[in-house]
Amino acid sequence: MAAQSDTLDMSLYFGDMEQRLRFCTTLLDQLKKRGCVKIQNHGIPNEDIQRLFELTRQFFNLSYEDKMKAKRPAQANPNRGYSFVGQENVAGISGFEKGLGPLTTKDIKETLDMGSANDKLVDNIWVPEDILPGFRNSMESFYDKAFETEMHLIDALATALGISATHLKSLHSKAENEFRLLHYPPTPASKLKDGKSTRIAEHTDFGTITMLFQDSTGGLQVEDQTQLGTFRDIESSGPTDIILNIGDSLQRLTNDTFKAACHRVTYPPMIKADGDEIIPERYSIAYFAKPNRDASLLPLEDFVTDATPCRYQDITAWEWNNMRIEKLFAGTTA
């Protein structure tokens, strides 16, 4: 099923009060109905995103030996470095929010995970500078620009939800986020046919919001929030659009007022599962905005009432994040 016309122009947010409010309410409305929304004019320059995709291609086109110079350590946490095809399997958390799973489907993808350059707790893991000159610098600078846009989006969501934007932003002030490059190698369609493998299995993200960029290959699907069980194709109208979705942490903070949307990557709509076709490779980039590690994910007071009692136990954002990541790497580390 094709996506609805769900592209939002963020220049409204930067406009006058009336425009800003219109942006905020449409954002909330679309997210609640569709599970995700595409955003244009979000403030991250298009050239930066194009350059990021170029660097993403260059990274994954390195030899396996070179990529392994930035190898993710054997343990699941912290989430940094290069994960080879087969190392991480998101099926470990599939169906969790529906009380199902874990499943055993294998993901056919490779990734590079990074965090903030100013992170005091966890270092990034880079390939040596002479292998990809300028790569580290571009990633660090993109991270900072994405953080600015993240804060605007968090501000917009707080406004739409009628809660304190200052408070919600303060829970995200440390930019303790994760930033990930993804490559799905070309794969014969027949390999995905028996359901034992996929590109990325159905899941929700763990943080507050995810800002995703995708190339034009297709295959991303998001569960419609008004028809649970129905996944809609999210086609690319350009790699520079942000595809925004909500993660578990915001679901918890809003006491389920706002649900994290399940999503997955499978065949592009044009490919037939039973043919001899090769599914073309696909690149995407995800910026996972998360609450500060020490922030509590206990629902905010605004969302706890007699009619809507607190649905969650207290846990910090860092504990939640690490628990989820453990499940992705169970038994698959090198």
Ligand X SMILES: O=C(O)CCC(=O)C(=O)O
Binding mask 160-199 for ligand X (x = CB under 6 A): --------------------x-x-----------------
Give the interface segment with Fe ion, choosing from 37-45, 175-183, 204-212, 221-229 (CB under 5 A). Answer: 204-212
* Least distance in angstroms from the C-beta of 309 to ligand X: 31
Comparison of 219 and 299: residue with beta carbon closer to ligand X: 219
* Least distance in angstroms from the C-beta of 131 to Fe ion: 28
C-beta separation of 241 from 212 below 8 A: no
Q: Using the rule CB under 6 A, which residue among 6, 205, 215, 248 binds ligand X? A: 205
Size of the site for ligand X (CB under 6 A): 11
C-beta separation of 168 from 250 below 8 A: no
- Under rule CB under 5 A, residue 223 binds Fe ion: no
As a whole number of angstroms, the distance between CA 56 and CA 284 comes to: 8
- Under rule CB under 6 A, residue 3 binds ligand X: no
- Give the amino acid at 29: D
CA atoms within 13 A on the CB side of 93: 22
Give the interface segment with Fe ion, choosing from 13-21, 198-206, 219-227, 292-300 (CB under 5 A). Answer: 198-206
Binders of ligand X among 207-236, rule CB under 6 A?
A: 212, 214, 220
Runs of H (alpha helix) within the chain: 17-34, 46-60, 64-67, 135-161, 165-170, 190-193, 248-253, 317-328
Comparison of 37 and 200: residue with beta carbon closer to ligand X: 200
C-beta separation of 140 from 126 below 8 A: no
H or E segment and range at residue 212: strand 209-214
Residue bearing tokens 């490059």: 181
Q: Which residues bind ligand X (CB under 6 A)?
A: 180, 182, 200, 205, 212, 214, 220, 263, 265, 284, 286
